[in-house]
Chains A and B, each alone.
Chain A
Amino acid sequence: MKPLVLWSDALIYLLVISLSIFFYKLRQDPQTRERWGQVFASRLGMVTFTVIIAYVGIALLDSLHFRRALDATEGVESGEIFYDNKVTSVLDVMLGGMGERFERTYSAPFALKSFEKKNMKDEQGLAIRDYPPLKHAGQYLADPADKWFDVLVKTTAALLWGLVISALVVGVQWFMLRGSANPWYASWGIQAVIICFGVWLVSISHYYHVLGTDLGGTDVAYQSIKGVRTGVLLGTLSTLIMLPIAVTLGVMAGYFKGWVDDVVQYLYTTLSSIPGILLIAASVLLFQVYIDLNPDFFSIGMEKADARFIALCFILGVTSWSTLCRLIRAETLKISQLGYVQAAHAFGVSHTRILSRHILPNVVHIILITFVLDFSALVLAEAVLSYIGVGIDPSMGSWGNMINGARSELSREPAVWWTLSGAFFFMFVLVLAANLFSDLVRDAFDPRTSMRSSGT
């Protein structure tokens, strides 16, 4: 086993660490604490936050990669160990080989037989054309009619296990947070649901394909879970890349005014007047050409896909800073007219100090709201970009690629609906949670709404 750190893995862990430090520092500010308290005082805030954390957790587990050592070839003695070209993540291990049970092609959820007929030989050796049985689904059953009873038994067992585990997890938290006034019970409920669902999915996937298999015979539930990492990373990394550009330019334009303002305004008007999709498509194609011209940079396919993914994050970040920049510029213009900034000027405080002590802390709420709002927009945008063909590399699992591959299969008779449903469900839950959470954050941090709620 050899650990492998992809660029995106490193970036996401860096992001998690810096965000933790950032929030730890923010905790010391009483006003910020009060506002976050407002978010977490609502049951909805607790529920959505728990869901988001669950997704982020899956993404982080899926970002710990390694390459398995290959078994030494018989008869060949060498001290060198060869590593698998396929990259495995900790999540793959936790899912118990869900992604390694391949079928030949499509099969419906919980099906025992393949979706398409195939020429086979029956017991007497005669050629027949029938649905071949699946390799990894319920083949131990003596009578296929017992299937649903078997599913029921296994589900009950899995749910019992799930309840035991969640009782442990929740019990520890209950012990630690007994005195808290926040509605933690809402979060515990969702945790129990997520844990039970996870245990059920992993355990029953040993016997059936819960969401069927796709054209290449991969388990759809596995693909949907692998899409989590792509979605979460794209949403966070792109915003991370965008923030420094938008904040620096916006604050400078609003603070220094004059020609700096003119230049910044010119830049973002120019950028936002180009139809966004064209700009993204052109940049992605540019990077693709670069990769194709330099194939030696990447030792394995995964690294190439990862490089394209980082480039996509980068491109989305660079092309989408104009909105945030405009907001921050306007806010800085307003703040720099205020008395305390004028007073700081009069005392001869340096520009850098005014910017870092007086201006930046007062635009943080805009950054925060944008961060959460953009997250869901980016997850949705990924699907559209993959459809146009400038999205994630097809070898890297993503919801957009799943939708793209399955959209024409609805026209079959009977329709192949499970791939779309898998992508739809996992994407919808994440985006819905992020949207609801961003509403709460905005209500708590937006001066206009928070004034209204405290005024009445």
Chain B
Amino acid sequence: MLAYIIRRLLYAIPILIGVNLLTFTLFFVVNSPDDMAASQLGEKYVTPEAIAAWKTKNGYNKPLFVNADAEGLSALTDTIFFTKSLRLFAFDFGRSESGRDITTDVSTRMWPSLAVALPTFMVGIWVNICVALLVVMFHATRLDRWAVFLFVSLMSISYLFYIIGGQYLLARTWRLVPISGFNADNQPWKFLILPVLVGVVAGIGSGARWYRTLFLEEANQDYVRTARAKGVSEISILFRHILPNALIPILTGVVVLIPSLFMGSLLIESFFGIPGLGSYMLDAIKSQDFAIVRSMVFIGSILYIFGLILTDISYTWADPRVRLT
């Protein structure tokens, strides 16, 4: 087990290097260091000297991948790619192009993101399981068919409409909660209700439909038929037999998402004005701040790979027949 985890962690290194190489190439083809300097300096101050000074100050005055002037190994290390991208492996994110410390930004912005994403995730799973169980109780009736139709309809509505509709109804028409914004000190829950609610409602369609199929797959198993033959009541079959067994695929299916909760949701955060990592990333894309994008991609990839490893571990934990070698 431990050997497996260590091997998986080692596998992560080439993947992360690949991720870095890809984002680096993409963004530097878009934006040469000269363009970056020009956009950061602002229209008025663009002179060749100013650009050169900015590049020296921010460490962009080197070749991209290979430094032909340097000797030996430093031909590879004395480049923008090495100094900017590979430094991330030491979790040294450096400063954004506008001069802010990325590590501080990330660690302060992580909490609002988590405050929205974690409740959405937990409440979402709970609501989906409850709805799915309710539908499974009425399996093979008219109600079940209409419920599935309803789920598919809910899935077919764009996420944007959930957000716009939620803001319009709850915040503007009924004035129950603020439309957007976030205040960590003064009643933060007031600002969190609407985003969490929108996130949960938007997820019911696909979530409940998926859980329903999982429950039904279990309901077709032999042990359920045996229980029924013994005369166990339907309620008891549902809660004592089907639910615990169906929780295994549910658990292993959602574990991969847990680490990514730190990243927050791009759309929810930008619509509701929550100063989390999602809106941080969106702002960085819009202002072409490569240092932030690079760091966020790196963090996102690490969390994703971490989620994959967690999934494998949760398989062995939930199902003792699975062995990791």
**Chain B residue at minimum C-beta to C-beta distance from A424:** B161
**Chain A residue at minimum C-beta to C-beta distance from B14:** A266
Of A8-16, A240-248, A384-392, which stretch is located at the interface? A384-392
Q: Within 8 Å of chain B (Cβ to Cβ): is A346?
A: no
Q: Is the CB of B168 within 8 A of A415?
A: yes
The residues in B between 152 and 186 inclusive whose CB is less than 8 angstroms from any CB of A are 152-153, 155-161, 164, 167-168, 172
Chain B residues near A283 (CB-CB < 8 A): 26
A282 to B231, CA, bound (A): 60
A251 to B296, CA, bound (A): 33
Q: Within 8 Å of chain B (Cβ to Cβ): is A395?
A: no
With A380-B159, A407-B164, A431-B156 as contacts: A274 and B266 at CB distance below 8 Å: no
With A273-B19, A380-B159, A410-B172 as contacts: A286 and B267 at CB distance below 8 Å: no
Q: Is the CB of B159 within 8 A of A384?
A: yes
Q: Is the CB of B155 within 8 A of A274?
A: no
Q: Within 8 Å of chain A (Cβ to Cβ): is B200?
A: no
Interface size classification for chain B: 35 or more
Q: Within 8 Å of chain A (Cβ to Cβ): is B229?
A: no
**Taking the nearest CB of chain B, how far is it from the CB of A326, in angstroms?**
12
Q: Within 8 Å of chain B (Cβ to Cβ): is A327?
A: no
With A285-B30, A388-B282, A415-B168 as contacts: A275 and B19 at CB distance below 8 Å: no
Chain A residues near B18 (CB-CB < 8 A): 266, 270
Chain A residues near B155 (CB-CB < 8 A): 435
**Taking the nearest CB of chain A, how far is it from the CB of B117, in angstroms?**
14
With A282-B27, A384-B158, A387-B267 as contacts: A432 and B152 at CB distance below 8 Å: yes
Q: Within 8 Å of chain A (Cβ to Cβ): is B22?
A: yes
Q: Is the CB of B160 within 8 A of A383?
A: yes
Q: Is the CB of B14 within 8 A of A274?
A: no
With A273-B305, A428-B157 as contacts: A389 and B26 at CB distance below 8 Å: no
**Taking the nearest CB of chain A, how far is it from the CB of B64, in angstroms?**
15
Pick the most buried of B23, B30, B155, B167: most chain A CB atoms within 10 A of its CB. B30
Of B36-44, B87-95, B246-254, B285-293, which stretch is located at the interface? B285-293
Interface readout for A382-414 with B: 1 if CB under 8 Å, 0 if not? Answer: 011001111000000000000100010011000
With A275-B297, A278-B285 as contacts: A286 and B29 at CB distance below 8 Å: yes
Q: Is the CB of A278 within 8 A of B293?
A: yes
Q: Within 8 Å of chain B (Cβ to Cβ): is A85?
A: no
Interface readout for B233-252 with A: 1 if CB under 8 Å, 0 if not? Answer: 00000000000000000000
Interface readout for A256-289 with B: 1 if CB under 8 Å, 0 if not? Answer: 0000000000100111111101110111011001
Q: Within 8 Å of chain A (Cβ to Cβ): is B141?
A: no
A277 to B286, CA, bound (A): 12
**Chain A residue at minimum C-beta to C-beta distance from B267:** A384
**Chain B residue at minimum C-beta to C-beta distance from A269:** B15
Pick the most buried of A273, A279, A281: most chain B CB atoms within 10 A of its CB. A273
Chain B residues near A403 (CB-CB < 8 A): 158, 160-161, 164
A84 to B282, CA, bound (A): 39
A380 to B162, CA, bound (A): 13
Chain B residues near A410 (CB-CB < 8 A): 164, 167-168, 172
Q: Within 8 Å of chain B (Cβ to Cβ): is A221?
A: no
26 pairs of residues in contact across A and B, judged by CB atoms under 8 Å: A266-B18, A270-B15, A270-B19, A271-B22, A272-B304, A273-B300, A274-B23, A274-B297, A275-B263, A275-B296, A275-B297, A275-B300, A278-B23, A278-B296, A279-B26, A282-B293, A376-B156, A380-B159, A388-B285, A407-B164, A410-B168, A410-B172, A428-B157, A435-B155, A439-B152, A452-B220
